[in-house]
Amino acid sequence: MTRILGMFLYVTSLIAVLGTGAYIAQLIQVFPVEHLASYGPRIPAVAALNARWLPHAPALLFAAAAVSALVAMGIWRLPTQVSNRPFALAALASVNYFLSLYCCMSLLVAWFLLPRLANAA
């Protein structure tokens, strides 16, 4: 049962990472970096910093998913019988979920919230 749960957590985390990459790519196409200046003259430093790396987030998330899949295959194919494989897969899934949530929240805060708050005066 724990094997199934560990695999389920891991597979859903891969779906989350790849889905987040696609979602960010679509949002950045609709709202490009120039969108930050549409709220007003002030662009917060955090928004400017995130504007440098967020357009590359889909590629970074895809690379993270590929590395995660390689590590998961390495964990699953260990020659000895390891009783904590589901725990290792769940820990790897938590890293994937964290990356997905971090990129989503960075996009939300840097692209939409902070520029609006900085120019609300």
CB 63: neighbour CB atoms within 10 A? 12
Q: Are 14 and 68 in contact (CB under 8 A)?
A: yes
Tens-of-pLDDT digits for all 121 residues of the chain? 777 888 899 999 999 999 999 999 999 999 998 888 888 899 899 999 999 999 999 999 999 999 999 999 988 887 766 678 888 888 999 999 999 999 999 999 999 999 999 988 5
The pLDDT score that the predictor gives to residue 81 is: 65
The pLDDT score that the predictor gives to residue 108 is: 93
Token pair 């997905």 in the structure block, residue: 100
What 3-state DSSP class applies to 33?
A: helix
The pLDDT score that the predictor gives to residue 80 is: 67
The pLDDT score that the predictor gives to residue 82 is: 63
Residue 2's contacts (CB-CB under 8 Å, 6 or more residues apart) are 86
